[in-house]
Structure 1
């Protein structure tokens, strides 16, 4: 029996759904005026947004009209953090192409995802366009069209898989890893060794914090500047003796497993030092570092573990940069976004530094 490509149940928005959706700031007064004029309704230029919304809600809206509202409310792709994994072994171009083609065929057959595969030099990229549904939002704001890119870069020791730290990207990357491992095993009989940034095997607070301390101070080509935000986590090391006499601060710390500190010089603050001595460790950090190149910018970085209790799902991002002002001989105080080229360049520095920081922790303390 052939597969029936049936869509979801038809959703008919109520007047309140439409009214709430049109109240959103993304729906401008100009859009509402244009809509009414297309329906043959002329409105005064001074008409308020509220009056326009009430008029539209009184009309009978078609399927195309509901789609128009949905498109106005779609969220643009936000900048997701980046994560990566290494697959070490003898990987050939044909293995990568074969794995990508297989995953592309599976995604295209199983759903409405649009998948594009491109190759440039030693990099192969899968670009997936999909619809994400967030049912925590109001009805007409639940649909978001998103795009994620998974890049496979071939090197002398294997491949590096770079991807956004989203659920969709992780699911597809697991399919790619499985397909790639199968391709290599089929041809050579060897198994690829997977490597990712994780401190799960080192459940010691001091080690986990030192990983971040080494990372922020050793990004290649940068001079450490300042830490502006730190999130810490407390992993219970065992049951406390209920008869043990404790001070008020110790009892309070035993009830808290997460804390966030923000401000200049967080690592030197008294509050951070108190938490650190009680078994809290860093799992997320935001810091700035200055590019050592001539009149280089000051760049703001962020790194964290998505699962703070196990210190897994490591991710990182470039939050922005502060350009150097040659007139004042200082960096600007206003942060600006980074270009795609700068984002890739700085993310590569973070990737390399995180691997070196993990190696330092393993060499010093053992896994």
Structure 2
């Protein structure tokens, strides 16, 4: 298994002591670890005393795994991103490329499985370890899962949808490179506003997006994040009056977040727009038109690179349960079919919003 960077070969007494004393590790686990060694303790013994005693003992791999399993953070739900492949490619090219990538990932200890049962779709599931050496020793490794889909549309061309993070984006790039090596280089179309730097157009994109989901009504916008790059002082400009003017004209805050209900109708956000801020992320609620008592979906869309408005990504965050004629505080996770449908609708709405601001 190939790894890069430092590795944890031995957990010292201090590492074990500090790990056990974190809130995520309850006292029952410490008692269980001690009982496996034939050591029984009083229920009144405080956790820090148990931690001191256990940290002096020899801990094996399975002890480390038990503690790390309690410390490991639940991976937050990740966003998706998508792009269209403009030039025609064959399904077999995708399958062959995935098989080649699978060989590379197997050598790195990652697990890749793919499903070709649907003639219009190739679904790739990837299990890997996210490693962060800035965390405490027993929290450095976090197991993660990701999805990559090649989806064929009615015209015979493919679009790609994948979990959006640096690791998976790199895997997608490798697959596309293999496909390009077996035929014509991949040409793609992505949703980005790099060629439209006007703040009004970038804000209008999100206004069109949140209202553009087919078959759904906009309920409210709960969060809107605005951005305006800070312009630096021109080099060699030492005039005192110019310095004062620059401080007045240039914002000291790049990012502004607004939370509440109907935040896009707030006078505050109107003031931000007048000074050159534009929206780069929204969280909003939509309700299917097909039923008056259906649950409400909370959606999120953003540009991960706010300055150029590139790397568009989105997700279905949660579902708010509708009961007795009103939206309640009860929530549930979206079903797989609901997520797939909403992902397609968001992608379509994003393309339509881009066409609206581009005038074509």
Tell whether the 8 Å contact from 2:221 to 2:285 is kept in structure 1 after alignment.
yes
What residue ranges of structure 1 are gaps of 5+ in the alignment?
186-190
CA–CA distance in structure 2, aligned partners of residues 282 and 51 of structure 1:
52
Cα 1:36–1:276, aligned 2, differ >3 Å: closer, same or farther?
Answer: same
CA–CA distance in structure 1, aligned partners of residues 336 and 22 of structure 2:
30
Query: What residue number does 1:260 align with?
Result: 257
Taking only aligned residues, the RMSD between alpha carbons, in angstroms, comes to 2.5
CA–CA distance in structure 2, aligned partners of residues 136 and 271 of structure 1:
38
Query: What residue number does 2:19 align with?
Result: 21
CA–CA distance in structure 1, aligned partners of residues 270 and 253 of structure 2:
15
Cα 1:62–1:234, aligned 2, differ >3 Å: closer, same or farther?
Answer: same
Tell whether the 8 Å contact from 2:194 to 2:308 is kept in structure 1 after alignment.
yes
Query: What residue number does 2:229 align with?
Result: 235
CA–CA distance in structure 2, aligned partners of residues 23 and 236 of structure 1:
43
Tell whether the 8 Å contact from 1:89 to 1:157 is kept in structure 2 after alignment.
no
Which whole-Å deviations, capped at 9, do the CAs of 1:124-179 have from their partners, x for residues lacking one?
12222211111221121111111211111122241111111111111101111111
Map 1:313-352 to 2 at 5 A.
313-325=311-323, 328-352=324-348
Q: Shift of residue 10 of structure 1? A: 5.1
CA–CA distance in structure 2, aligned partners of residues 223 and 202 of structure 1:
28
Query: What residue number does 1:210 align with?
Result: 204
Q: Shift of residue 313 of structure 1? A: 0.6
Cα 1:226–1:13, aligned 2, differ >3 Å: closer, same or farther?
Answer: same
Tell whether the 8 Å contact from 1:298 to 1:322 is kept in structure 2 after alignment.
yes
| 2:148 pairs with 1:159 | no
CA–CA distance in structure 1, aligned partners of residues 300 and 68 of structure 2:
33
Q: Shift of residue 316 of structure 1? A: 0.5
Which whole-Å deviations, capped at 9, do the CAs of 1:223-249 have from their partners, x for residues lacking one?
11111111111136897897469889x
CA–CA distance in structure 1, aligned partners of residues 43 and 251 of structure 2:
62
Query: What residue number does 1:197 align with?
Result: 191
Give the structure-2-normalised TM-score. Answer: 0.90
Tell whether the 8 Å contact from 1:77 to 1:147 is kept in structure 2 after alignment.
no
SS in 2 for 1:43: coil
- Residue among 270, 274, 282 paired with 1:285: 282
Q: Which moved more, 1:218-227 or 1:24-33?
A: 24-33
CA–CA distance in structure 1, aligned partners of residues 271 and 89 of structure 2:
48
Tell whether the 8 Å contact from 2:15 to 2:137 is kept in structure 1 after alignment.
yes
What residue ranges of structure 2 are gaps of 5+ in the alignment?
none
